[in-house]
Structure 1
Amino acid sequence: MPAAVETPELRELRAEVRQFLRESIDNGDFVPKADAWQSNIDIDFSRRLAERGWIGMTIPTEYGGHGRTALERFVVTEELLAHGAPVAAHWIADRQMAPSILSHGTEEQKQKYLPGIACAERFFAIGMSEPDSGSDLASVRTRATPDGDRWRISGTKLWTTSAHVATNMIVLARTDEGERHEGLSQFVVDLPNPGITINPIITIDGEHHFNEVVFDDAVLEPDALLGTRGAGWRQVTGELANERSGPERLLSPFPLLAAWGSEVEADDAPATLELGRLVSRLLVLRQMSLGVARQLAAGRQPAVEAALVKDLGTTFEGDVVETVRRMAMTEPGCGSTTFDTLLADGVRHTPAFTLRGGTNEVLRSIVAKGLG
């Protein structure tokens, strides 16, 4: 951050987090990975972060959080990403479900879920994508129907990150008839549930972080409805600003970039030029991401700005991996060094960068509509 933004307090916080992470790496508590926020699940490590107050930072203290600022959370998030820390277990809950419950939840829901998020006892998955829908999140066929004072829900959600370790899941379902973006509602589902089956999806790298989640007439309690019935699409679009604009949309391959940059010789003009180009792009994108964070902290919903950050940021991430692969003159998986492992991680995960959170083509249409 520029000096005008990074106060002494923020610099002190950054140094504290950085020291903790470096000591954790030295002690063998985790091995840095590229794209660790998406796939590297370590519940024990998440709880160690919670003990230090680095989860639920912006949750008010009356709900078990720490009442800190969005910029303080941004600093912690940057350091976790830059060091490739295993944060996938708590990422979704902390990034977007806590703000959503604060905005739309009842007092009982806030008391029930937010303290558990802050202490890394509750982990969330998001049930939006469905089979045969691609990036069209509004093509929801999962249906929730009233049954007395309860709800019954049936349907299938796909590509559901971390559902196999989640204690809860936010599900977007159709509750009423209407236009595509109408008649949708959100539900907070407690897991496990006898009417819900979670099937693993193993990705090309052999990892398990995606899942298929099947709802077979699952019974939900009356307090499962989040926010207003029929207003689910509006609530989801508000959440997506948090999902699409964070530093994870720029920094997924940063451990790889840092490892390569440390090996670039000063007299290697071609490599130095490429490194400079990547770093300059990163600095600009970082300021854009910070700008969205400030708007979110002010209570606004910068959907267009968030879509732009996600589009440009994930394109940059792919360019990082491809540039490093080309300039390093090596192929992933051909060695056993930390750099070789990071490069292999980056190459395997690159195809997902521009897909998750909405494809870049969809995001560009959001930007175009927002600009009139």
Structure 2
Amino acid sequence: MKALDVPVVVLPNEANELRREVRVFLEAEQREGRIKSKCDCWLSGFSADFSKRLGKKGWIGMTWPRQYGGHERTSLERYIVMEELLAFGAPVAGHWIADRQSGPLLLKFGTEEQKQFFLPRIASGESFFCIGLSEPNAGSDLAAIQTRARKTDGGWLLNGSKIWTSGAHFSHYMITLCRTADQDPNDRHAGMSQLIVDLSAKGVTIRPIILMTGEHHFNEVFFEDVFIPDERLIGKEGDGWAQGMAELAYERSGPERFLSTFPLLNELINSLLESGDHHGLMAVSRLAARLWSLRNLSLGIAVQLEKDVPSNLTASLVKDMGTQFEQEIAEFARDYTSVIPSVHSTNRLSRLMAESILQSPGFTLRGGTTEILRGIIAKGVLKA
């Protein structure tokens, strides 16, 4: 079926050298006590200093044009770096969203001024972005958003709120989907635009949502007459929905959608090998096979995105299957080890298991719920 065609990707030989370089770097960072491995690192692992060090290595904005601070490397090279960072569990949350989707969105729809101003700062690991989509009274129905920007002299006045906003408390900017025109009953997706909000601006309030782990990476964000200059509109007024949907392909198809609990899986395999648990190793091999399939699908989409091939349908598949896989790793660990999970444990397996168990309920919610994704998939397959 053409809608589900994804290329099979064979990584070039030189990929091994880049992979080795990233691993050497991460080992040195850990040895010097600057970072430690963590599950769900791309949302809960924050280190501004580490993001800057990655920027100096040229590992943020890797595929972007050099004129905007990028390095003009391939999507596969970027994939290798992202994969290694996630597999290690490095603290990449600061720059992750900006590198993954905010930067590509600006490259595709932004003005020259926006590209010149924001992209070099993102690539250097000094400017962090978050995404303002979900709202308290909209649930999973993104078309029901009510946050509104009213035109005023020289810009817009933004009023409303966003919820479940990852990283808003350490981000500098938010790309906010809002209404800039009255809702059309015949087209619920019309009249929306994307604005870049300076989170230090007057009228912005950020309130934390604390997780079961005691950690803080979700937030509520409120806007009260926040002034947004005209030059902070992304693309064309009224095109926000289409732009946002194009952006979601980047959000849903990357390796972070199935590697959030990989540090636990890796540690569990090491434990099973050490104990000689052949039954457990046979069982975990099935997880390894699924991981390989997800990785190949994700790699193929990375190539498609580089070629500007629409990938929302296949990206939804990765997100749906990948986040369920992440949750199953946590359940598998509970079944095949006698270690007691604890976030305060000095035992690596115990700590990683606790992190995975406590954080896993959110995996199938963030970035689009399972039900919403399956609706997208079903409609896409029927159209094909």
Q: TM-score range by the shorter chain?
A: over 0.9
Question: 2:355, 2:147 → 1: CA distance?
Answer: 34
Q: Relative contact order: is structure 1 or structure 2 higher (C-alpha 8 Å, sep ≥ 6)?
A: 2
Counterparts of 2:365 and 2:309 in 1: how far apart (Å)? 25
Q: Could you say which residue in structure 1 is the equivalent of 2:365? A: 355
**Deviation per residue, 1:245-295 (Å, 9 max, x gap):** 000001000000000101113742320111100100000010010111111
Query: 4+ runs of 1 displaced by more than 6 Å?
Result: none
For the residue of structure 2 that corresponds to 1:369, the secondary structure is: helix
1:217 is matched with: 225
User: Residues 9 and 300 of structure 2 are in contact (CA less than 8 Å); yes or no, is this contact kept in structure 1?
Assistant: no
**1:131-155 per-position Cα deviation (integer Å, ceiling 9, x unaligned):** 0222222211000010022100000
Aligned match of 2:323: 314
State how far apart, in whole Å, the 2-side matches of 1:23 and 1:41 are: 18
1:175 aligns with 2:150: no
Larger mean CA deviation between 325-334 and 149-158 belongs to: 325-334
Q: Deviations over 1:218-265 (max 9, x none)?
A: 111110110111110100000100000000001000000000101113
Partner amino acid for 2:347? T
Deviations 1:114-145 (A, max 9, x none): 00000011100111010022222221100001
Q: Does 1:194 align with 2:202?
A: yes
**Which whole-Å CA distance do the structure 2 matches of 1:67 and 1:162 have between them?**
27
More displaced 10-residue stretch of structure 1: 362-371 or 179-188: 179-188
For residue 306 of structure 1, give the secondary structure of its aligned residue in structure 2: helix
TM-score (norm: length of structure 2): 0.94
Aligned position for 2:53: 48
Number of residue-to-residue matches in the alignment:
370
Structure 2 unaligned segments of length 5 or more: list them: 1-7
The partner residue of 1:237 within 239, 245, 270 is 245
Aligned match for 1:346, one of 356, 362, 381: 356
The aligned amino acid for 2:249 is: A
- Deviation sequence 1:52-78 (CA, Å, 0-9, x none): 000110111011111111111000000
2:9, 2:296 within 8 Å by CA — same for their partners in 1? Answer: no
Deviation of residue 355 (structure 1)?
0.5
C-alpha distance in 2, partners of 1:183/1:83?
A: 43
Amino acid at match of 1:330: V
Q: How does 1:1-372 map to 2 (within 5 A)?
A: 5-177=10-182, 178=184, 179-265=187-273, 267-333=276-342, 335-372=345-382
Aligned-pair distance for 1:26? Answer: 1.8
Give the distance between the partners of 2:255 and 2:200, measured in 1 at CA: 31
Letter in 1 for 2:237: R
Percent identical pairs in the alignment equals: 49
One-letter identity of the residue aligned with 1:340: S
Q: TM-score, normalised by structure 1?
A: 0.97
SS of match in other structure, 2:320: helix
Is the Cα contact below 8 Å between 2:40 and 2:261 reproduced in 1?
yes
Letter in 1 for 2:62: M
Q: Which amino acid aligns with 2:25?
A: F
Instruction: Name which of structure 1's ranges 4-13 and 343-352 shifts more when overlaid on structure 2.
Output: 4-13
CA contact (8 A) 2:157 2:225 kept: yes
Indicate if the aligned counterparts of 2:210 and 2:217 stay in contact, CA closer than 8 A: yes
Q: Once the two structures are superposed, what CA deviation does each residue of 1:16-45 show, in whole Å capped at 9, x if it has no partner?
A: 001111121122111100111111110000
Question: Which one-letter code corresponds to 1:131 in the other structure?
Answer: P
SS of match in other structure, 1:138: helix
Aligned-residue RMSD, C-alpha: 1.3
Q: Deviation digits for residues 65-122 of structure 1, max 9, x if unmatched?
A: 1111111100000000000000000000000000000000000110011000000111
